[in-house]
Amino acid sequence: MIVPYSHILVLSGLLFLMGMVCATTRRNLIMIVVGLEIMLNAASVAFIGAALQWGTLDGQAVAIFIIAVAAAEVSIGLALIVAVYRRTGSVDPAVLENPSA
């Protein structure tokens, strides 16, 4: 016997909240992508807990697709950050507010 499913939901919710706070408050493009990664990981924790709770493998299948999407997202995101850094020499999201820079 492990813990009730609601405890796993609380853990996953707190992790998602931390990722959201990181993505919204940090003024750094890399930290925004890190926040997205934390949020995706929190979602897969909830899915794997659900797979155990209801005894089906669907939750684990969704978690594996979340990992694939996270890999695609991070490669595109970091390529975009490198492109922005080459153009402006900074990773501050404020430089994107002025399109002529």
Partner 1 sequence: MTVYAILFYILAGLILITTGLAITRRNMVHTVIYLVFSFFGSAMLFYLLGAPLLAALEVIIYAGAIMILFLFIIMMMREESPETRLFVPRQWLPAAAIGLLYLVLGVLLILSADPTTGEPMKLAQATPAAFGEYLFNAHWLTIEIASLLLLVALIGALHLGREGKGGDARKTEETS
Q: What span, in angstroms and rounded, lies between the C-alpha atoms of 22 and 80? A: 19
CA angle 58, 77, 31 (to 5 degrees): 95
Is residue 26 within 8 Å of 67, Cβ to Cβ?
Answer: no
Residues 7-66, interacting with partner 1 (CB under 8 A): 7-11, 13-15, 17-22, 24-28, 30-31, 33-35, 37-38, 41, 44-45, 48-49, 51-53, 55, 57, 60-61, 63-65
- Residues near 85 by beta carbon (within 8 Å), at least 6 away in sequence: 91
Give the total of residues touching partner 1 (CB under 8 A).
67
Give yes or no for residue 6 binding partner 1 (CB under 8 A): yes
Give yes or no for residue 88 binding partner 1 (CB under 8 A): no
Instruction: State the Cα torsion 19-25-26-30 to the nearest 10°.
Output: 40
Residue 66 burial (CB count, 10 A): 16
Give yes or no for residue 101 binding partner 1 (CB under 8 A): no
Which residue from 92, 98, 99, 100 is in contact with partner 1, where contact means CB under 8 A? 92
Residues in contact with partner 1 by CB under 8 A are 1-11, 13-15, 17-22, 24-28, 30-31, 33-35, 37-38, 41, 44-45, 48-49, 51-53, 55, 57, 60-61, 63-65, 67-76, 78-83, 85, 90-92
